[in-house]
Amino acid sequence: MKVAIVGAGITGCLLANFLDLKSIDVSIFEKSRGFGGRASTKQTDWGQCDLGATIVPAQQAGFMNFMGTLCAQDRVSQWPKNIFVSQQTTDIKQPLEIFVSDKEYYVFNSKMNAACRYWTKNAKVQSNNLISQIRYIVGKGWQLKSNGVWQEKLFDKVVLTAPWPQSQALIEQSELSMKLPDFSQSWTSCWSIALKLDQLVASGVDLVYLKEQSIRTLVRDSGKPLRPQTFDADTGRKSEIWVAQLTNKLSDDLGKEGKDKAISIATKGLCELFDVPIKSVLNTYGHYWRYARPREGQKPLGILNQQKYGLYAGGDWSFGATIESAHEAALSLSQAIIMGE
């Protein structure tokens, strides 16, 4: 059986791994250069930083077991241990409070998209390949249009793991007569800002959720296990990298053009919270994410399974909006494909 997977985020790469374990021939098509999708890591000339998904909270027993197995293989580490909440506003200073949670927390070693390469090691990997159309040829199988050209190779099954709006468009253009579920999505954005500091700050703090600020999360990115050490190029002293994620509302207001403003807000917010001078910030890097998420009150859709045609779709949107839900989608998709063989 030949399977084509569209999208090499966590869902697509993990699915490739599950199918590979059943000796299924997998080709994976990714429009970007790198793998990982929204779990991506940026290498700048002054250090490495995870600018998308930053930690992996695990709630359900099955996912905790899965992450436990990856831990035993040194592919993930349990981190962070020291999570805090800040109720501080711009006017009123407040001490950090300990964040209480029944979840377990992990990060991938030694960057958030590292496992994607491992999971796809036996797949035929095609990066820089945007799939703009798919079509079903009766009695033959699926054909994909990649970078504007119909590929010669035909597949028995095709799995769309792109976000729902992109997957939905591909299904609609495929001209198969099928009724698609009404799955209401809205677009939002998030500015993710990496800041390199010339000194170690906030000892004993790994991550802070900010409740009353323009920043929603601050994470000591270079404090994650097995990250490369960073140094101040001028003094040779050990430095560190934090990543600030601005709130969706503020990011929407700033838009893609608001990079300078986003960097300045993140810099000011971090320096105020940790009482460090602005000049401690040596370097910054900003990434603007724009993504669809289920509308408020919209129940997760589950995976789409058109076994009759060998067409499947799923992603984090099938079960939520996190890496845990991407794992659940990959598992459900693999079961549907294997059972429908």
**Residue 301 is which amino acid?**
L
Among 41, 161, 214, 230, binds ligand FAD (CB under 6 A): 161
Binding mask 172-211 for ligand FAD (x = CB under 6 A): ------------------x-x-------------------
C-alpha dist (Å) from residue 152 to 33, 141, 155, 188: 22, 11, 10, 37
Stretch that binds ligand FAD, among 71-79, 81-89, 263-271, 321-329 (CB under 6 A): 321-329
**What's the min distance (Å) between Cβ of 326 and ligand FAD?**
4
**Residue 309 is which amino acid?**
Y
Radius of gyration of the chain (CA): 21
**What's the min distance (Å) between Cβ of 233 and ligand FAD?**
28
What's the angle, vertex CA 207, arms to CA 206 and CA 212, rounded to 5? Answer: 150
**39 forms part of the interface with ligand FAD (CB under 6 A):** yes
**54 forms part of the interface with ligand FAD (CB under 6 A):** yes
What does the alpha-carbon distance between residue 48 and residue 231 come to, in Å, rounded to a whole number?
12
**321 forms part of the interface with ligand FAD (CB under 6 A):** yes
**What's the min distance (Å) between Cβ of 198 and ligand FAD?**
26
**17 forms part of the interface with ligand FAD (CB under 6 A):** no
**32 forms part of the interface with ligand FAD (CB under 6 A):** yes
Q: Which is nearer to ligand FAD, 88 or 113 (CB)?
A: 113
**Residue 171 is which amino acid?**
I
**246 forms part of the interface with ligand FAD (CB under 6 A):** no
Q: For tokens 């549907």, name the residue.
A: 336
**What's the min distance (Å) between Cβ of 163 and ligand FAD?**
5
Q: Which residues neighbour 79 within 8 Å (Cβ) at sequence distance 6 or greater?
A: 55, 105, 106, 107, 206, 224, 225
Q: Which is nearer to ligand FAD, 99 or 231 (CB)?
A: 99
**316 forms part of the interface with ligand FAD (CB under 6 A):** yes
Count of residues that interact with ligand FAD, criterion CB under 6 A: 36
Closest CA to 34 of 55, 20, 24, 48: 48
- Which pair of structure tokens corresponds to residue 143? 């054909």
The DSSP bridge pattern shows strands 83-86 and 157-160 to be unpaired
Phi, psi for 235 (deg, rounded to 5): -100, -15
**216 forms part of the interface with ligand FAD (CB under 6 A):** no
Q: Which residues neighbour 253 within 8 Å (Cβ) at sequence distance 6 or greater?
A: none
Among 3, 4, 5, 10, binds ligand FAD (CB under 6 A): 10
Phi, psi for 2 (deg, rounded to 5): -110, 125
**66 forms part of the interface with ligand FAD (CB under 6 A):** no
Interface residues with ligand FAD (CB under 6 A) are 6-12, 29-32, 37-39, 52-56, 130-131, 161-163, 166, 190, 192, 245, 289, 291, 315-316, 321-323, 326
